Structure 1
Amino acid sequence: MIGQLRESSPRRIGPYETLARLGAGGMGEVFLARPLELAAYGPGDLVAVKAIRNELATDAVFRRRFRREAEVAAAIRDPYVARLVGSDTDAEQPWLATEYVVGPTLAEAVRGHGPLPAGAVASLGEGLARALAAVHGAGALHRDLKPANVLLALDGPKMIDFGVARVQAASTMTSTGLLVGTPGFMSPEHVAGGRHVVAASDVFCLASVLTYAVTGRDPFGDGPVAAVLYRVSQAETDLTGMPEELRSVLAACLVRDPDERPAPADLVERFGALREAASAPEWPEPVRARTAEARRDVEQLCASGRPLLPVPVWPEAAGVGHPATAQDGPATAPGQGGAEQAGAGRGPDGAHRLPTMSGSPPRVPGDA
């Protein structure tokens, strides 16, 4: 479930030794690591360290963006948000470390085991609404809430990745008219441009995430990105096939006018009532089993006391004329900040698996 380090992977980042590779995105890579000060360590001591790519470390814009991510994460203290434990945004290779959360992302859980039952979705909604209340209470916006940024830990959901977050009082780092977010999980304000995104936009995105969780479908359909963005801009989503009690709450969040959407505190109460009325366990058994398996893998890694290094492959076995390493492709984990793979916008999971966008919005049907 956790990936081997590469030959090029750093063996130390700040006060941490890297043990395994968790994922990679546009800004950098994420590593499972342990504090160097500890001779013996267990799963509770591990952190997820996000490091900027070497080629971007000299880019002033990326450094500012990374510094902002660390500042936003440091301002939030909530059990439903992965806790920041350290950072150095001025280092030669800037990094930040958060608590390591054992559990699949919501995207992995739904792709692997199907939609979540209504009770689990209510519990998920309550936890994420609490997380958003904490984010907004700290004067920040998440701006990229999607299934890949939600971890299903045994003790509840955890929101991660503030890479495009913004403090509400600050000017946006994206130019006027630029697009931030992930196409299938944007709000109409995202489509209008980054300067239009407000706290209620996160509520819209939360409802899109929960719609995916309960139906297993892209909330605004699949197809060309421009078509998806048009449906988002018109708030045209299909809520059929879900329990009525969930549909009424999600419909209230998915209205086009941000002023008419409920606040996160209201959603905490509504989802909490639905959770209490449900008799099913928080996560389905296959998800719990996957999390338990991931924890065993991490425990074995800690017991070995050694990082997960690449295994050499004989040249003739690799079919090339020079040494190769096994598992040299992108590594994913049961979920700590790994970005979705290249080309992920294709196939049955659709446009919501495309990486976060931060560029000029494509023309959508109906544009002048």
Structure 2
Amino acid sequence: MERIGGYLVERRLGEGGMGTVYLARTRGGRAVALKVAKAELAADPVFRERFRSEVEAARAVGGFHTAPVVDADVDGDPLWLATAYIPGPTLAARLAAEGAMDEDGLRSLGAALAEALESIHSCGLVHRDLKPGNIIMAVDGPRVLDFGIARAAESTRLTATGTAFGTPGFLAPEQALGHDVTGAADVFALGAVLVAAAGGSAWGEGTPMGLMYRSVHEPPDLSAVPAGLADLVSACLAKEPADRPTPAELLDRLTEPVPD
């Protein structure tokens, strides 16, 4: 079996535009998710510097709702990042298999994601690509994944091209427009995730450009969202970042007693 950075690679978990994720193990047998950057990215000095910065910041992220960074090589070839391996299906897979969540399930999901964003934002980070495919439905609750490689790649591409990089349908208007991005963009994505978990789609179906246009110019489709959550989800999806609730405010709203 192949070894990367002293980790024994067992199998590939997934592959994307940024690189490949493997299930690997330490010499003592502990499982990790090993994320290896693509060679063409690693060859870019700008990416390497961004990757170093992102890894240093991501190491500080704690909380119960993320996958902690446990190791990384920011100088070698290949570049890689190891996080704790969190078994479980993605939220996207769970929804495909089991269908939409009810209001209680949506509140629990939203509260867990709000806690995760609190941890991420408190370290000066913005996730920028929160979506059902980056959320693992672990035994102990949802976990937000994808730090380091994807975020460093996004920063590099933004610097080089001035264009948005992320997932249309969950991308905040300011991301679609290439403006400065703050933690409010993650709150917008959280709102779109809750719409998806309710069985809907905030901006419908269409091309990436079409979805981004709608997120900037049109109101979201909240028809699938339970009435008790519609106002809160609508606030998350506000066009202006300053009009969206903070993760702490979201957590308060999602965990307050529901009237009979």
Alignment of 1:8-87 (within 5 A): 11-36=2-27, 38=28, 41=29, 45-87=30-72
Tell me, yes or no, if the aligned pair for 1:18 and 1:31 is still in contact at 8 Å.
yes
Deviation of 1:164 after TM superposition, in Å, equals: 4.4
Q: Percent identity?
A: 42
Map 1:1-368 onto structure 2 (within 5 A). Answer: 11-36=2-27, 38=28, 41=29, 45-162=30-147, 163-165=149-151, 173=156, 174-175=158-159, 177-193=162-178, 195-215=179-199, 217-273=200-256
Q: Distance in 2 between matches of 1:30 and 1:104?
A: 15
Moved over 6 A (4+): none
TM-score (norm 2): 0.91
Q: Which of 1 and 2 has higher RCO (CA within 8 Å, sep 6+)?
A: 1
Contact 1:110 1:213 in 2 (8 A): yes
- Which ranges in structure 2 are unaligned for 5 or more consecutive residues? none
Summarize deviations over 1:60-99 as a string: whole Å, max 9, x none.
Answer: 2332343233223212111111111111111121111001
Task: Mark the runs of 5 or more structure 1 residues left unpaired by the alignment.
Answer: 1-9, 167-171, 279-368
Report if the CA contact (8 A) 1:87-1:97 is conserved.
Answer: yes
Q: Distance in 2 between matches of 1:266 and 1:178?
A: 31
Q: What is the count of residue pairs matched by the alignment? A: 254
Q: Could you say what secondary structure the match of 2:222 adopts?
A: coil
Query: Structure 1: which amino acid aligns with 2:195?
Result: T
- The superposition leaves residues 184-230 of structure 1 with CA deviations (integer Å, 9 ceiling, x where unpaired) of 1101111110x421221111111001110112x33211112222111
Cα distance in 2 for partners of 1:227, 1:29 equals 29
Q: Give the residue type in structure 2 aligned to 1:20.
A: R
Distance 1:127 1:64 in 2: 31
Alpha-carbon distance in structure 2 between the residues aligned to 1:132 and 1:17: 31
Summarize deviations over 1:13-43 as a string: whole Å, max 9, x none. Answer: 112111111011112111111112x2xx4xx
TM-superposed CA distance for 1:179, in Å, is 0.6
Preserved contact between residue 32 and residue 100 of structure 1 (Cα < 8 Å): yes
> Matched residues in 2 for 1:80 and 1:226: separation?
31
Asked if structure 2 preserves the Cα contact closer than 8 Å seen for 1:235 and 1:256, the reply is no
What TM-score, normalized by structure 1, do the two folds share? 0.65
Contact 2:168 2:211 in 1 (8 A): yes
